[in-house]
Chains A and B, each alone.
Chain A
Amino acid sequence: MSENLIACRGLSKAYGRKAALSGVDLEVGRGRIVGLLGPNGSGKTTLIKLMCGLLQPTTGQIEIGGLPVGTETKAMVSYLPDRMYFANWMRAVDLFDLFRDFYRDFDYEKAIAMCRSLGVEPHDRLKTMSKGTKEKVQLVLVMARKAQLYLLDEPIAGVDPAARDFILHTILTNYNEEGTVLISTHLISDIEKVLDEAIFLKTGKVMLHETVDHIRETQGKSVDALFREIFRAQTLEGGEF
């Protein structure tokens, strides 16, 4: 087993002529909860999609658990995308069946139990569920796996504060402790206290990668405050008011 769970070297991704990521070098260890922080359009989603193989890098490499992205790494990664990905005619239990078929680390009973605690009836059709409920189903699918790496893309965007606490609580109580959780978000104050490390992304580059404790100790302020400072400066530099 390699020491680092995620290793990116010189990773770049361009859409046409527009660069989304440029020259990202990143190493993340095991057993950590890591925040991938940056404003919209800073490359968070792009980086996560590269890690799960939905995008191919323009240049550079990524390794997950010492392996290039492929079938083996996909079996280790549990991914929560920023959108709904299932057909409406299915029921939650159909999706659980599918996950049990394909992922060896999926715990069916745990998924059902999580549904009950989240107030979701697993035999309902997805068609009849509200957007919030569908998001819960997707969260259950992701967290009921005992994965090495959880990639959560904006899990708390667009939900009310109560639901936000609930989601964070679900993540905290269900993730595999030997695994690493990578959470992307632009709402830092909400998740700051669950993080070990923070990665700041700014226009496709890693600006800062530090432990949260270290940031607070050396800067004397929260990660959120630091974030606001850095990204307020950005708009001023651009000369826009």
Chain B
Amino acid sequence: MLGKLLKYDIRAMWKQFSIIWPAALIIALINRFTLPFNQGSGNEVGVKSELLAVITITVFVGVMCAMFVVAMVFVLTRFYRGLLGDEGYLMHTLPVQTWQLVLSKLICAVIVTVLNVVVSFLAMFLMMPINWTALFDVIQWQRLLQGLMKQPDALLYLGEFFLLCGTALALMVTMVYLSMSIGHLFHRRRVLMSVVAFFALDIAGNLIISFINELGMLRFLNKMAEWGGHTGFWVGIVLLLIPAVLMFLATSYLLKHRLNLE
């Protein structure tokens, strides 16, 4: 059932981003030709082309900003409208467990954010005046590969780093979800109460961390340097995962037992 839910959530995501992602890449490519990368000393830079460059880079920055704003709004509204608004009438009457509904939204939110970052990097890459023949130089790649073989850890570190980022992201999203579910418990001013809940959760989280710190339970983190990098990463991932899972469970519980679509 989760797979089917994901299918529809991802389809909705594609609907939202199928224009802005390609647009970002195309505008990046245009910038590649309008930006005066190679026009150093001696070359004349016409006022016209300079103006053009300013316009295109402005558009590019605008699209990039829009992309992240759209992603943020998407993550919020897919949950709020999709599970707590009119679309919830459909989703909550499907014969599906509530936690699957939430998990599907969560996975989709993480995918959107990750793809946003990927598109941004790709766009930067397209904008650079890259020497394409050099890029496809096989010997260069061979050397890179050989280097990696000598340091197999590097790839692992990279993977762990991404996993850590993903977990942090999931934590953030579950916190937003939980805030909205708490806001939904009120009969009026649900949006306002969601915002209040978010800050309350944030403060509560900080209090808990400092409390645990007081107890000296986090002292083991000081020894992290001795354990080496990998353990450090994994400890970090687990530390982020615990509150994320707790908040996910709390959200599912609230939606299952306290849902009131009015």
Contacts and interface: CB of A to CB of B under 8 A. Distances in A.
Contact flag (A, B; Cβ within 8 A): yes
Contact of A54 (B4, B15, B93, B96): B93
A71 B97 contact: yes
A101 B1 CA distance: 9
A70 to B, nearest CB: 9
Contacts, number: 62
Contacts of B92: 52-54
Given A74-B95, A87-B12, A101-B4, A15 B90 contact: no
Interface in A114-149: none
A71 B15 CA distance: 29
A241 interface: no
Contacts of B95: 71-72, 74-75, 102-103
Contacts of A86: 87, 90
A152 interface: no
B90 A56 contact: no
A87 B92 CA distance: 15
Classify chain B: how many residues form its interface, as a range: 20 to 34
| Size class of the A contact interface (CB-based, 8 Å) | 20 to 34
A53 B93 CA distance: 7
Q: SS class of chain A's interface: helix, strand, loop or mixed?
A: loop
A208 to B, nearest CB: 27
Given A56-B257, A79-B93, 13 more contacts: A15-B262, A52-B93, A54-B88, A54-B89, A55-B259, A56-B260, A71-B95, A74-B96, A83-B86, A102-B1, A102-B95, A102-B96, A103-B94
A16 B261 contact: no
Contact of B261 (A54, A84, A101, A103): A54
A72 to B, nearest CB: 7
Contact of B259 (A54, A75, A83): A54
B89 A102 contact: no
Nearest to A52: B93
Nearest to B4: A101
Given A83-B86, A85-B86, A74 B93 contact: yes
A53 B1 CA distance: 19
A23 to B, nearest CB: 19
Given A71-B97, A74-B93, A98-B8, A56 B258 contact: yes
B210 to A, nearest CB: 36
